[in-house]
Structure 1
Amino acid sequence: MARMEKKIYEFTNDGNSCVIYDAKPPRYWFNYLWNENGYCAQVSQNGHGRSYYLNERADMCMINNNDARYFYIRDDETNKSWNIGAAPLNEQVESYQCEHSIGFSRLQSECQGIESSWSIFVPQTGFQEVWTFRLKNKSRKTRTLSTFSAVTFELEGFSYPRYYEMYRCLETSFDRELNGIYCRSAHPFAPHKRYNAYLAASEPVYAYDGDLARFCGAAGSVTKLDASAYALFQRPDVVVNGSDCTNSEAALFILGGVLQHKFILQPGETKEIRMVFGVSESLDEARATAKMYADAKRTESACKEAVEYNLDKYSSLSVTTPDSKINHIMNQWLKKQIDCCIVGKKGVRDNLQIAVALLNYRQEKAREEILECLRHQFRDGHAVLTWYPYDDTRYSDQPFWIIWAVCELIKETGDYTILQKKIEWQDGGAAAVVEHLKAAADCLIRDKGRNGLSRIYFADWNDALNITTDPEAESVMLSHQFCLAFRELKLLMEKIGETDYAEFLKKEYDTMRKSINEKAWDGEWYMRALSKKENIGSRTSEGSKIYLNAQTWAVLGDVVDEEKLPKLLTSVDSMEHDFGFPLNMPPYEKYSPNVGRMSGMLPGLFENGGVYCHATGFKILMDCKLGRAEKALCTLKKIMPDSEKNPSTQSGAEPYVFTNCYSTHPKYYGKSYWSWTTGTSAWCMKGLYEGIMGVKRGYDGLEITPCFPKEWERAEMTRHFRNADYHIVIENPQCRKAVTSVIIVDGTQIKGNRIPDFADNKKHEIKVILQ
């Protein structure tokens, strides 16, 4: 619940919905709705947002520009007009609320005696979103209303030769059988046929506009330098002047779809209209889809199916802790956020991290994503940064994530045959997955620099750390990750009988660990990078002295020894901030070419001393590995949405999903930049389920080693693993730091912490008693 006098939101429906009561929170609070066909609709608390389609080859079709999706209501007798969600007309409405739920969004409000609602969902299959509008006359007199549903058409998102911009190839027309506006593309280089869009209605259209300049007015559009244009919807002429749409059609500029309907509502009467907005391969396909959803029962059934599907795909994993906020966010919303990252991100490093989190609850989807990432690996072992948009800038960390993710996949599935599956290379040919792993390992070995550490190239995980003064500069963080990768790959090779190669990997691990501790230890912490001009993240460095990731990964990669560990932890703890842990301290005050882009930002923004929540997620796992349960929980709660020290009213971020970063700059203090598509979600899932709850996948089964905070007396979770379901209850009856645990499986105590690998399609009861 929001902590302020006026309640601006609350969780309902067992936490599956967040109901927003303020139409104007600090920034737009979005929901994302999508299906497995690749159609996605972003919906704000006002109802606007971008809609796009991304096919299996990552060919993008951004349907609308400037996030234009609007619905206007006008009293034709008084000429008073408004929106259900208050914007973009910004006319005040009463009884406003927006329910963002797992499978739909619904806005409702009241104005001028008219109660209205707008529901949006994306069907389980297809390439469209479906809207339902309801208008009820709560006044005592007959009302004559006009409604205007408005969208833009852009259909951009793919590469083409110069002067073949999509707007040169588009035209809109009204089709009676469609009962809507159809936007046809004639682009000769479109990568697939689904670059046509439409807006259709269930009720007869009174008037329409396919030319947004006619709807918004000449002063309601902006022309850009290349003469293309876009519409402004704050005060569209047709709506505010009391006129009707002009039945315009258009080509080239300011294309969109506006459908006007007129309703006469008796006192107490309700009217409903359904609309479909989407893409199609042809006009006939659009007509058939619109006809399907013109039926009220079919629409209601499809919405129910979409909601049930979305809830079901997240049902195999759940948690119940003494903290209700953790329960609300870390159950459905966190899983939905991780799932959403796959829809929007097409990068090897990003998708592998997301996929490993997905292994906890969508194993088949995770497998699919991990193997897809391998297809974008080059034969020399490195990989592209992103395949949409295509970017093969030489980042150094992709091989690490490949090894780590495949090892985690095999731990999850127990299926070693994956290693023999042939996967294509980005630069041609194909090889077994095990050869992809060995190529990644060879790449990491080959990429060692003058000090025996891993070269950073353009950047490692930190995109903004670009050491332009030294092409041989080395990344300490990646060197830690090298150690983790070789340790994990060694275990896998032992499992498949490649003992000689496993021994080779062990020697490489030992050599790298020794080099790091000799070359990168700075007395109280590890430096972040080594370069000829100046080492970065050292006590003697100009600007920033310490970097968080160089410390957390030293623990995760088993690099730091017992002597150095207390000093390292003291240094990490000294970085603590109300919002989490800054990426580096202090921030850079001026640009340094030896550091690159991050030093060119204002101090406290983004990577330059901001609290980068993704990196704080690494720190949670570090704490759990070391048994620092209270530190882990405290760190998690600092970066959770709407935290105690940084509520959503200050940060601006949605109160139901994680954000990427919080600013420490005094003029943007506490504010976040974007949410939803951030790896923070994946690492916070790992932090709670695998770290604090301690339920980890292993080659021989699930292993349970909780890192339980003293204040928690009990928690429970469900987990699907290798064709069996586990209900796990962890009890801490004495509320103290646990040293050992007793594990009881189906009523029988077992030795050790590994759960039997039943794989029997049954549910098993696991009790863990901490002592």
Structure 2
Amino acid sequence: MITDAGGGYSRWKNNVLVRWREDQTRDNWGAILCRKRPGGADPDEPWMFHMLVAEGVTTEKISCETDRAGFIGRGHTLADPQAMRESRLSGTQGSVLDPIVAIRCPLSLKPGQSVTVYYLFGVGDSRQACLVLMKKYGNGSRIDDTFRRGQSSLWGFAISGDLPIVLLQLDAIPDLDLLRQLLQAHAYWRRQGLSIDLVICASPNIEAGQAAQDAVLALVASEHQTEQLNQPAGVFVRMLPALTPEDRILLQAVARIVIDQSAGSLADQCARRSAARGKALVATTGATPSQHDTANICAATTPVLGLANGLGGFTPDGSEYVITLGAGQCTPTPWVDILANPDFGTLVSESGCASTWSDNAHEFLLTPWSNDPVGDSTGEAIYIRDDDTYSCWSPVPWPCRGPGQYICHHGFGYSRYTHDQDGITSEMQVYVAIDAPIKFVVLKLHNHSGRTRLLSITGYVEWVLGDLRPRNMMQICTQLDSASGTVSASNAYSMEFGSRLVFFSASDATSTLSADRTGFIGRHGAPESPAAMRQPELDGRTGATLDPCGAIRIPFELAAGQEREVIFRLGAAHDQAAMQSLTERYACAAAVHTALAQVTDYWQRTLGVVQVDTPDQSLNFLAMWLALATSRYINTTGDTKVLDTSLHFLTGRPLKPEEASYYELPGVSTDSATLYEHCVRAIRHGLGLGKHGLPLMGTGDWNDGMNKVGAQGKGESTWLAFFLHYVIEQFMPLAQARGDTTFALECEQHCALLRSSIERSAWDGSWFRRAYFDNGTPLGSVENTECQIDSIAQSWAVLSAAADPRHARLAMQAVDAGRGSWTWYSGSAGWLYRLIVESILGLRRRANTLAIDACVPPGWRSFDIHYRYGNSNYQIHVNLHEGKQAGATQLSVDGIVQASTLIALIDDGREHDVQMQITVLPAGVQTSTVAQEVRQ
């Protein structure tokens, strides 16, 4: 369900409030009322309704569903929705993540009995306007009257209805050339003995004035047809008065031909009619794809996994997350891996769905991104076909899923998929080059069927070359480079990316190709069973005016016991020369394999700086998941000189009064200042407080979806109070070290003010409020019927250490464990990583030393940290014992007891053995630190 301009749904789902309504005075209809949640540019959003009317059916029998995920079900489609397995719909209403409107009505029919059920959709300016429409059309007879006006209803226009009707709909300023053509055609028909009524009226939603009526009548007179006005087989001018909707429906329904001025010239409209009646695509071979042959499907061996949950788990070394999908199984939501370098990337899910981009993941997509966690569809696909039987399947669960088991390995910088079907084992690996805008799909097939097989592999991509496919597809032109067998595409209409070339190629030159999506998928076809898989070869079409795609098919013979590798490349280049250079660089398989080695080596070096081994297996895997994220560069490196670096400011125009934001590239000012001065200005810019003593929120803080909370300049943010407190406390020592005592004192006073305001105005009794609206209404409060608690405010009460420890602990206990979202997204993942490494294990680097101040769960007796410093490796073993005073008590490096408990870091290329003794407090001992509160 979309209540927005075209394109909004593709970028981001609209929040829509839906309400189920049962009329108390009738027993034959129920309806769903909905509107977009306030918050857009237009506060007067329209209302929509969906209504069911069935005579003799009471509302007690009717059920509804407004949650798309609940209706379709994860891994299902509208062809096989989950809701068809239930007797009643769930009745979900209110705010849902992905809204739909569905109404179910059970019926019992006796032999020979019939019943009519009406489903109605309507839109009104307000809820009351929708209720008026619902009442007007609340019974079947009234609906029938609207659409079943008989011949007699034409008599009021002096039209008999006995003769064929040609209907011409004109705008307020009539197209006289189009009218002249129809009048001349009508005269010709009459001379040829064809009796036809020509009816002329205003187009829908057009209010024609007297001038339009006079212009039409004048042209009728000039064509010598005045005597035909209002006569059988004559001309009927009905520009005034305007037709009612019911009259227009009647005329459009009975007319043999409808010509509308807004649809172009007469020749254009006739041409479109001829094209629409063209022949449908038919297969050129008698072979038909068979149903999946369930014979010879070998069940893949399920690997032994850590933290297994029934669908997946970690490999023993934590380097991969492995998802095993049996027949019909799918994950609750898409489990994706992002494979990227700074300028190019792809997102792949456990089902093999993928979206690829270059330069800007929003503005220049190569292939579509499906904003749909239910269906998880895509514009990239790989097909395996047995060319003897035309049986077809995919090496990944999407789009052409086989009946056997699929195993997905999400690793660092790559994803790998394995499947076995009909005697063919497949392994598909996906990755992106570390330093080039190119993606590789490497497919290996092994024939263990015991007989020679004739197979073909088909790779397919849908081109976007912009932000949204519908907006850009008309401008995309495709071409074939016959020398390399590469299909390329460009969008010269794009202002920013008009010179770019994207390309799709394969490792085998003996291939056929197509750049026509309509020909590949087929009319009314689907990626699950495209028309091209019923063709022996692809059609070879490229050029402009196509529904653009890139498809390559590679046929080959695979002997029993033989293995074959096929490589597909998807990339982007700034121009023809760059594309040629890129394709030549990765033309051979060895270069493609080297690219994978470079990717795995990069991630090993990046993630190998800190590795841990603790009694909690989940922490071991978690700590390896992301590279160390730290904003404390100076504390880590000791490089204070960076504060004196001179940097220019960015420039941009102020917001206009009617704007909440705008999107454009900023300019660079001639003015400059040191990095320290930039930081001071940024902090001072955020010191403005509202009437509750909390920072002003403006049009959004962390959550851009809260853009209306403080749009009038008075809304306040609790999270921003925690965050500002954290930033100031981190920066204050740097100000003191530079001798900027004035700003350091200002920071100290503001932190005290924030702590006081947080406890006074943000504490809700059991948790912290999220914000205050411009009018002073709290958000994230027990007072709210929805959005009572926001996790981010509670988490940052701990992370910032700005809250009363007792309140921080209560707030964390108040958060319900429910649907996870964005858990592994960059911001939350980075903070979670730091919480484990720095706060729980207590590992902190300070210039060329390491400090460990652990705050671990009760019951831990030891843990290990593997730390790399340059070319040196430090194997750190920490022994824990309980005592009255927490902290490190003894440190030895390479068997030598150290005077300090700080580990001195030396880049000497050696392995260093570090033993540390740390005292921890017994369980239950109360401390004043937030970290200890979290542990308890």
Q: What residue number does 2:338 align with?
A: 32
What is the CA distance between 1:319 and its match in structure 2? 0.9
Q: What residue number does 1:450 align with?
A: 691
Does the aligned pair in 2 maintain the 1:274–1:293 contact within 8 Å?
Answer: no
The one-letter code matched in structure 1 to 2:834 is K
Do residues 289 (structure 1) and 437 (structure 2) align?
no
Q: What residue number does 2:364 align with?
A: 61
Separation in 2, partners of 1:114, 1:542: 56
Instruction: Classify 1:522/1:259 alpha carbon distance in 2 versus 1 (closer, same or farther; 3 Å).
Output: closer
Q: Which runs of 5+ in 1 are unaligned?
A: 221-231, 336-356, 360-404, 580-661, 664-671
Instruction: Classify 1:291/1:542 alpha carbon distance in 2 versus 1 (closer, same or farther; 3 Å).
Output: closer
Separation in 2, partners of 1:759, 1:4: 36
Q: What residue number does 2:355 align with?
A: 50
1:139-168 per-residue CA deviation (whole Å, 9 max, x = no partner) reads 23332222211111111149xxxx995334
Does the aligned pair in 1 maintain the 2:690–2:715 contact within 8 Å?
Answer: yes
Which of 170, 174, 178 is residue 476 of structure 2 equivalent to?
170
Which is higher, the Rg of structure 1 or of structure 2?
2
Which of 239, 256, 270 is residue 563 of structure 2 equivalent to?
270
Does the aligned pair in 1 maintain the 2:869–2:906 contact within 8 Å?
Answer: no
Query: In the TM superposition, what are the counterparts of 1:136-151 in structure 2 within 5 Å?
Result: 136-151=446-461
Q: What residue number does 1:236 align with?
A: 530
Normalised by the length of structure 2, the TM-score is: 0.57
Which of 742, 757, 761 is residue 889 of structure 2 equivalent to?
742
Q: What residue number does 1:71 align with?
A: 382
Do residues 477 (structure 1) and 719 (structure 2) align?
yes
Does the aligned pair in 1 maintain the 2:767–2:794 contact within 8 Å?
Answer: yes
Separation in 1, partners of 2:541, 2:810: 66
Query: In the TM superposition, what are the counterparts of 1:146-545 in structure 2 within 5 Å?
Result: 146-157=456-467, 165-187=471-493, 189-191=495-497, 193=499, 195-220=500-525, 232-239=526-533, 241-331=534-624, 333-335=625-627, 357-359=628-630, 405=631, 408-427=632-651, 428-429=668-669, 430-445=672-687, 447-465=688-706, 466-467=708-709, 471-520=713-762, 527-530=769-772, 532-536=775-779
Instruction: Classify 1:535/1:469 alpha carbon distance in 2 versus 1 (closer, same or farther; 3 Å).
Output: farther
What is the CA distance between 1:539 and its match in structure 2? 6.1
Q: What residue number does 1:20 align with?
A: 323
Q: What residue number does 1:686 align with?
A: 834
1:193-234 per-residue CA deviation (whole Å, 9 max, x = no partner) reads 4x21111122123321111111111223xxxxxxxxxxx411
What is the CA distance between 1:293 and its match in structure 2? 3.0
SS of 1:455's partner is coil
What is the CA distance between 1:715 and its match in structure 2? 0.9
Does the aligned pair in 2 maintain the 1:116–1:136 contact within 8 Å?
Answer: yes
Which of 865, 874, 879 is residue 717 of structure 1 equivalent to?
865
Instruction: Classify 1:440/1:250 alpha carbon distance in 2 versus 1 (closer, same or farther; 3 Å).
Output: same
Does the aligned pair in 1 maintain the 2:364–2:467 contact within 8 Å?
Answer: yes
1:345-400 per-residue CA deviation (whole Å, 9 max, x = no partner) reads xxxxxxxxxxxx434xxxxxxxxxxxxxxxxxxxxxxxxxxxxxxxxxxxxxxxxx
SS of 1:483's partner is helix
The one-letter code matched in structure 1 to 2:856 is F
Does the aligned pair in 1 maintain the 2:890–2:898 contact within 8 Å?
Answer: yes
SS of 2:436's partner is coil
Instruction: Classify 1:137/1:764 alpha carbon distance in 2 versus 1 (closer, same or farther; 3 Å).
Output: closer
Separation in 2, partners of 1:544, 1:30: 28
Does the aligned pair in 1 maintain the 2:622–2:833 contact within 8 Å?
Answer: no
Separation in 2, partners of 1:673, 1:469: 26
1:287-317 per-residue CA deviation (whole Å, 9 max, x = no partner) reads 4433443323232223222222221221111
The one-letter code matched in structure 1 to 2:844 is K
What is the CA distance between 1:423 and its match in structure 2? 2.5
Does the aligned pair in 1 maintain the 2:478–2:490 contact within 8 Å?
Answer: yes
What is the CA distance between 1:51 and its match in structure 2? 1.1
Deviates more, 1:100-109 or 1:144-153: 100-109
Does the aligned pair in 2 maintain the 1:724–1:762 contact within 8 Å?
Answer: yes
Instruction: Classify 1:732/1:279 alpha carbon distance in 2 versus 1 (closer, same or farther; 3 Å).
Output: same
Does the aligned pair in 1 maintain the 2:516–2:548 contact within 8 Å?
Answer: yes
Does the aligned pair in 2 maintain the 1:212–1:254 contact within 8 Å?
Answer: yes
SS of 1:485's partner is helix
- After superposition, the CA RMSD in angstroms is 3.4
In the alignment of these two chains, the number of paired residues is: 584
Separation in 1, partners of 2:307, 2:867: 36
Separation in 2, partners of 1:529, 1:202: 56
Instruction: Classify 1:461/1:28 alpha carbon distance in 2 versus 1 (closer, same or farther; 3 Å).
Output: closer
Instruction: Classify 1:501/1:721 alpha carbon distance in 2 versus 1 (closer, same or farther; 3 Å).
Output: farther
The one-letter code matched in structure 1 to 2:381 is Y
Does the aligned pair in 2 maintain the 1:322–1:712 contact within 8 Å?
Answer: yes
Q: Which runs of 5+ in 2 are unaligned?
A: 1-303, 370-377, 652-667, 920-936
Separation in 1, partners of 2:366, 2:595: 22
Does the aligned pair in 2 maintain the 1:183–1:197 contact within 8 Å?
Answer: yes
What is the CA distance between 1:321 and its match in structure 2? 0.9
What is the CA distance between 1:263 and its match in structure 2? 1.0
SS of 1:218's partner is coil
Q: More relative contact order in 1 or in 2 (CA 8 Å, sep 6+)?
A: 1
Do residues 572 (structure 1) and 811 (structure 2) align?
yes
Instruction: Classify 1:522/1:751 alpha carbon distance in 2 versus 1 (closer, same or farther; 3 Å).
Output: farther
1:395-451 per-residue CA deviation (whole Å, 9 max, x = no partner) reads xxxxxxxxxx3xx12112211111121233231423211111111222123x12234
1:625-678 per-residue CA deviation (whole Å, 9 max, x = no partner) reads xxxxxxxxxxxxxxxxxxxxxxxxxxxxxxxxxxxxx43xxxxxxxx4456434
Which of 401, 408, 419 is residue 109 of structure 1 equivalent to?
419
Separation in 2, partners of 1:145, 1:542: 59
What is the CA distance between 1:499 and its match in structure 2? 2.5
What is the CA distance between 1:540 and its match in structure 2? 5.9
Separation in 2, partners of 1:9, 1:323: 18
Do residues 90 (structure 1) and 401 (structure 2) align?
yes
What is the CA distance between 1:707 and its match in structure 2? 0.3
Instruction: Classify 1:481/1:206 alpha carbon distance in 2 versus 1 (closer, same or farther; 3 Å).
Output: closer
1:81-109 per-residue CA deviation (whole Å, 9 max, x = no partner) reads 1111243123324x533332223222232
The one-letter code matched in structure 2 to 1:238 is A
Does the aligned pair in 2 maintain the 1:99–1:105 contact within 8 Å?
Answer: yes
Separation in 2, partners of 1:543, 1:280: 48
What is the CA distance between 1:492 and its match in structure 2? 1.0
Which of 312, 317, 320 is residue 9 of structure 1 equivalent to?
312
